[in-house]
Structure 1
Amino acid sequence: MPRITRDPNLEEMPDFDAEEFQTTFQALATEDNTLEAITQRSKDAWTASHQKKLEAWQAQVAEDAEAERQLEEERAREEQEREAAKEESRRLEKAEKDKKKPKVKAFVANKLVNTFAAIRTSQYAINKVKSLEYIELWYWTPEGCADAATQDRTVSSTVLALTSEGGIGQALFTPAAAHKVSTKVVADEKITWRDMSVAKTGLLQCMRGEENWPEEHVMALGSFFLELDHHELRRRDYGEEALLLYQAEVRREWHEQLRSTDDTVEPFDIGVINETRLMRIYDKLLSQKHAQGIARSVVIVLSNFTRALT
C-alpha cells in the first residue's frame, strides 16, 4: 500500500449542501433518485472513504512507531555492544599492565623485621638441590652466602636464560641466576672442617625445603655428616683432612648414583661409613704428607749447604 503522506485527521468533509454540489446533483436527480438521496449518499461515501484513510493512517503510525522502537532497540544494543567491547578492551589492557607490574605483598602493620638477617644462598645452589644434583658445600659457608648476597645485587632475577630442564625436546626460560656458577667456589675437599660444619646445616635445610627430596634421603645425608662429626679419626693428625676428602668423594658418587638412568645401579646408603675406603684415603694422605715433609727437609738441607758454601 502506498505510504500516506498527509494526516487524514486534518481533512474535512466537503459541503455537499453547497450550491455548486447541489447544482451538479440536481442534474442527476430523478423521481427515484432524489436530490436529497444523492446528497446523503455523497456524504456517506466520503465518510466511509475517510474512515478507511483514518484506519490506514493509524496502522501506518503504529508501524512507524514499532519500526522506531526496533531501531532504538538496535541502536541501544549496538551501543551496549560498543561499551562492552570498550570495557573488555580496557579489562584486557589492565590485565596486561597488571602482568607487567612487579608483584608485591601487603605488609603487616607494626610487624618488626627479624632480629637476625636471613642467610642468603646462591640461586644456583638452590636450583642444583631442586634438581637433585651434587653441589659444593661452599655455597652454604659464610663466604658462599656473602658471595650470593653480592650476586643478588648485581644479577636481576628478571633476566632469563634458555635451558633444557623441561626434558628432551623441551626448552624453558628460567632465571639466569639459577645457572650462574660462582667464580669463588671452593671444592669440597679443600674447605675447612669449620666451613663444612656450618655448610652442612644449610644444605640439609635446603633439601628439606624441596619436595623433590624424600625425607629418608635427607635423613641419610644427615646421618652421614653426624658420623663424620663423631668419627675417632678426628683425633688423629690430618684426620679431619682425610674425612673431608672422604666426604667430597662419597657425596658426589651418591648423587651420581641417585640420578643414574642405569637400572643396574643400586645407590648405596651414604649414612653408613665405609671404614676401609676411609682408611685408604687416610693412608694415602699420610704418605703424601710424609713425602712433602721429606721434600721440605731436602730443601732446607740444600739451602743450608748452599749458604755454607757461600
Structure 2
Amino acid sequence: MANRLEFDPALIPCPDFSDEFYAAFRNSLIIDPNHAGITNNQEAARHLKEQWEVVNTRQREQYQAQVLADQEEADRRREEAEVLQRQREAEDRERVLEQAREVEKKRIPAYSFVAGQGAHRKPLRIHPYAEKLMSARKYVPLWYFLPDAAAEAEERAKEVLDTNHYQIANEGGESSSSALVLVGTHSIRASPNAIPDAKLTWSQVILARGAYLKALSLGAWPNEHVKMFAEFFACMDTSEELNAKGGVRALVLYQAEMRMDWFKANERQKPYDLSVTNGAVLEDCWKIVRREEFDKSLIGMCFGSQVNDDQYTDYLSRNSTLSPDSS
C-alpha cells in the first residue's frame, strides 16, 4: 500500500531539467548505454521531464483517490453521527412520552359532563377507608355507609396536615409476616368506631344498603354483579322471615355471614349467586337467634324483668362468655 500523501502533487511545479543544476543527471543519461537514443542535453532534459510527469501523474491519481476516500470516510462518520443523534433524540422523546404517560396514569381523568346540569343532591361523603376497599372490590362492613361513618368522613376531611401525629400500627394483622410500621393518624385506616355487620340493627342495614349499592361503582363492578347485590338485599325485604319473631335478627346475621363469605369466595375465584338464599346458613342464623332468646330469658329471670336487645348487648359486653358468637 502506497504511503499516504500529505500534499497535493498538482501544486508541485515541474522542474527545469535544462538548468545547470540537472547537468549531472543529463550527462549520466547521455553516456548510459541503456539510453542509446539520448545523445545530447536537450534529449536528456526532455526524458527527465517525461519521467517526472509520469511520477507526478501517478501521485496526482493517488492523491485524488486519497481525497475521495477521506471524503467518503467523513461522510460515513457524519451519517453515523446523524443516526446516533436521531436515535438519542428518539429516545429522549420516548422518555418524555413515557414520563407523560406515567403522569397521566396518576392523574384523575377529566370525564365529560352535560353543560348546565348541576348536582341533583348533596353528594354522600364515603368514609375514606370504605372508599379504599370498595375501589379494590373488597368486603366492607355496612357500618361504613351509615350516617355516623359519613359524619366521621366529614370530620376527617376537615382535619389539616399540621395536626397530624403518628402511632405504631401492626401492618399485616396477626400473621407471621406482619410488621410494626409508623403511620399518620390521618392515614386511610379502619375506623375504631366501626360495628360488625352481625351487631347492626335491621334499621341500620336498611339505611346503609342504599349507600353501599351506590358505592359499588367505585369498584367498577359489572352490571350483573351490581344486580346480584341489589337482589340480595331485595330478597331479604320480601323474605317471610321478617314476619316471624326473631326473623329480623336472623336476617341481620344472614346478611353479615353471606356477604362476607361471598367476598372470600370471590377472592378464591369461586364466587356464586349471592341473591340465591342459602337455607343451611339461614337455619344456622336461626339457631343463634333462638340461643340469644334463651339467654335473654335467663338473664331476665336473674334480674326479675324482661331484657331488651340493648340490655342484652350491654350484658354480653360485660360477660363475654354468653356472647352469641361463642361456641
Q: TM-score range by the shorter chain?
A: 0.5 to 0.7
Which structure's relative contact order is higher, taking Cα pairs within 8 Å and 6+ residues apart? 1
| Post-superposition offset of 1:47 | 2.0
Corresponding residue of 1:305: none
Residue 15 of structure 1 pairs with residue 16 of structure 2: yes
Q: Please say which of residues 59-68 and 141-150 is displaced more in the overlay.
A: 141-150
Letter in 2 for 1:12: P
Q: 1:40 aligns with which of 46, 52, 58?
A: 46
Corresponding residue of 2:76: 70
Q: 2:65 aligns with which of 59, 76, 84?
A: 59
Corresponding residue of 1:227: 239
Corresponding residue of 1:251: 255
| Post-superposition offset of 1:50 | 2.0
- Partner Cα distance (2:128, 2:28) in 1: 120
**What TM-score do the two structures reach when normalised by structure 1?**
0.59
- Partner Cα distance (1:294, 1:189) in 2: 25
Corresponding residue of 1:141: 146
Q: Please say which of residues 5-14 and 250-259 is displaced more in the overlay.
A: 250-259
CA gap of 1:292–1:225, structure 2 versus 1, over 3 A, is farther
| Post-superposition offset of 1:54 | 1.7
Q: Deviations over 1:216-267 (max 9, x none)?
A: 5653442123336x9446xxxxx6xx44433333333445665589xxxxx8
Letter in 1 for 2:70: D
Unaligned runs of 5+ in 1: 234-238, 262-266, 297-310
- Partner Cα distance (1:52, 1:248) in 2: 108
- Equivalences for 1:134-213 in 2 at 5 Å? 135=141, 137-154=142-159, 163=172, 177=188, 179-183=189-193, 185=195, 191=201, 194-204=203-213, 210=221
- Larger-gyration structure (1/2): 1
The sequence identity of aligned pairs, in percent, is: 17
**What TM-score do the two structures reach when normalised by structure 2?**
0.57
Unaligned runs of 5+ in 2: 162-169, 180-185, 269-276, 307-327
| 8 Å Cα contact 1:189/1:247 also seen in 2 | no
| 8 Å Cα contact 1:221/1:270 also seen in 2 | no
Letter in 2 for 1:41: H
Corresponding residue of 1:112: 117
For the residue of structure 2 that corresponds to 1:16, the secondary structure is coil
- Partner Cα distance (2:98, 2:285) in 1: 66
Corresponding residue of 1:2: 3
- Partner Cα distance (1:185, 1:23) in 2: 124
For the residue of structure 1 that corresponds to 2:118, the secondary structure is coil
Letter in 2 for 1:183: N
